[in-house]
Amino acid sequence: MLEKLLRQNLSIPQLVGYFVTALIGMSIIFTAFGFSLDIKPIFSPNTGLLKNEYIVVTKKVSMLSAINSKNTIFSEKEIEEIKSQNFIKSISFFTPCKYGVYAYMEASANVPYFATEMFFESVPDRLLDVAADKWSWHEGDTFIPVIVPRDYLTLYNFGFAGSKNLPQISEELIKEVNFNVMISNEQKKERYKSRIVGFSDYLNTILVPETFMEWANNAFGDGAPTKKSKLLVEVANLAAPETAEFFASKNYEINKNGDEQSKLSYILKLIIIAVSIVGLLILLPATGLMFLSINLLVYKNRKTLGNLILMGYSRRELARPYSILVLGLNLLTGLASFGIFELAREFYLSKLQILRLEKISVNILAVLFVIMCVSIVTFVNIVWIRQKMEKIAPPVRG
């Protein structure tokens, strides 16, 4: 009866207006947030890809490089100059092998025989997003995990295999194929088993674990210091103009694929932020409309509320019906906006299948984000309602 009494003078059009406006605002915010989570794997490291904003920096090969290879080596002064730039976070180095590498594999039903000379390089393992159980090596191990550029498999499937009438090989199949690796110098040689455990899109090299490279260079190398001809540079923002301008001014080359991806990621983030701001700008007036509706409702019922206070009802009890109304309305808005987000998600994921996005049935982070937003809006509404109730004074009896 108390709820029926206090909810007299409810303005249905105002509540409907709040619901519709808040629904639009929340739907936009939830969809923008969910979209950013769903496409994050495109711009995040996969197996064999670098973490964070890393680029490969080398010197340009010129006519003089054929005469003197030192022209492509970075000096300590040049490395310190790069480190001193305020947009550079850290510098790591590629470690090349100082021994011969020969890979071969016997023919099978699915894979043809091959044998080739090759090379190995390594980077600090902490920079690679690879499962530890797949990317490790200890002295005495007879198996070497390898990461190769994805372009190598593409060249084989759509170049070499077609011209030689050989079967094409999928990534899943090639990861199951073991091959032999012979490492050697002039005095000795050793054979190992190996297998491709991942593919890299932006590192055009054949990677092995750092522990293996250190051991093999010590055991088979000539003992000479490692020359730093390729740098792995972590930058604050690859899309920032000063990054490209600095390396261009020094006549250094950087990997273009990572550059384009970073720019696209940066632009996409700006778009998502802009769309989220639009949703927020719609949601804020909706919240204001709810404040106005409750304010008018309390004003119309001020005499009734004052009398109820005189009868012994606490202000918290009087605020409860309005709080329940706000909670129910916000829950309904949150559920409806989440439903709209799921419909929008089905639509954009179907359009982005070409990017091989892994579809997750329920995005837990998106659900938590919806709950957080609804909770914040409801909390602000309830606090405001209670403050309004504190200002209600009982009528003076003459």
Round the average pLDDT of the chain to a whole number and report it.
78
- pTM flag (> 0.85): no
Element (H, E) at 268: helix 256-300
Beta strand pairing call for 88-93 and 189-200: unpaired
What is the dihedral sign for C-alpha 75, 76, 81, 82?
positive
pLDDT digits (tens, 9 = 90+) for 288-320: 777 777 777 667 777 777 777 777 777 777 778
**Residues 6+ positions from 56 with CB-CB distance below 8 Å:** 94, 202, 203, 230, 231, 232, 233, 254, 255, 258
Assign 212 a pLDDT band (cuts: 50, 70, 90).
very high
Pairing of strands 143-149, 189-200: parallel
CA dihedral 159, 164, 167, 168 (to 10 degrees): -10
Q: How far apart are CA 252 and CA 57, in angstroms?
A: 7
Q: Tell me, what's the pLDDT at 208? A: 93
Residues 285/257, Cβ–Cβ less than 8 Å: no
pLDDT the model gives residue 350: 75
Rg, the chain, Cα only:
32
Specify the pairing of strand 54-59 against strand 230-235.
antiparallel
CB 19 within 8 A of CB 347: no
What single-letter DSSP state applies at residue 125? G
Q: What is the average per-residue pLDDT within 338-350?
A: 82
> Residue ranges per domain, the chain?
2-43+270-390, 96-223
pLDDT of residue 46: 43
3 state SS for 128-174: ECCCCCCCCCCCCCCEEEEEEEHHHHHHHHHHHHHHHCCCCCCHHHH
pLDDT band at 190 (very low <50, low <70, confident <90, very high): very high
Average pLDDT over residues 38-57: 61
Query: What was the pLDDT predicted at 207?
Result: 92
Contact predicate 321/314, CB 8 Å = no
Answer whether residue 282 shows pLDDT above 70: yes
Condensed to tens digits (0 to 9), the pLDDT of residues 126-185 reads 877 666 678 889 898 999 999 988 888 888 888 877 787 777 888 888 888 888 999 998
